Amino acid sequence: MGTDTCKYALHSGSNTCCFSVFYTLITSVSDCVLCLVYYYRYKNMESCITPPGESAQLKKFPERLSAIPPRILEGHAPGVAEEDYEEDNKLWKKHVNTYKRVNKLIGSSRYRNIMDMNAGLGSFAAALDSPMSWVMNVVPTISENNTLGIIYERGLIGIYHDW
């Protein structure tokens, strides 16, 4: 089965084309890979982040790291109150300061790429606040609260991921 057949099958609504190829003809794995790449590259993206409201005033960076994001102030972040946000910031500042006392290299170029695999509100990345390091904030798709928008409003980067 060639990639043209895969493309036709995917456009006609069948998403089992590549998987049946994979299981029945091991020699056509490359066709299957091409089919999957085609399927996911040309699939329409779904909106996963609600843009901030028109009245939202984002502060300039680096003030944004510690300022309460408009999403929380306007009540558009279910399960996250201003007090929770402040408490999370305070807790992560305390943890990061302790980490820096134990390991003097944190915040230096020794640890340039850090991944927070359960980012919450992004407070670890905000507390680290080092131009020598950056943090990829990962919000699990199964998390109780959808906080990726809050992370973005803080001026941080992040993604959803389903482990």
Kindly report, residue by residue over 70-110, the tens digit of the pLDDT: 989 988 888 899 999 999 999 999 999 999 999 999 888 89
Q: Which residue has the higher pLDDT, 130 or 12?
A: 130
| CATH architecture label of 63-161 | 3-Layer(aba) Sandwich (3.40)
Condensed to tens digits (0 to 9), the pLDDT of residues 46-56 reads 556 666 666 67
The predicted model scores a pTM of: 0.68
Q: What percent of the chain has pLDDT over 90?
A: 37
User: pLDDT for 5-42, tens place per residue?
Assistant: 444 444 444 444 433 333 333 344 444 444 544 555 55
Assign 3-class secondary structure to 87-105: HHHHHHHHHHHHHHHHCCC
Does the pLDDT at position 45 exceed 80? Answer: no
- pLDDT for 91 equals 97
Length of the chain: 163
Which of these ranges, 4-8, 18-22, 145-149, 150-154, has the smallest mean pLDDT?
18-22
Q: If 0-12 CB within 10 Å is exposed, 13-18 middle and 19+ buried, where does residue 136 land?
A: middle
Residue 120: the pLDDT is 93
Q: Note whether 138 and 117 are within 8 A (CB).
A: yes
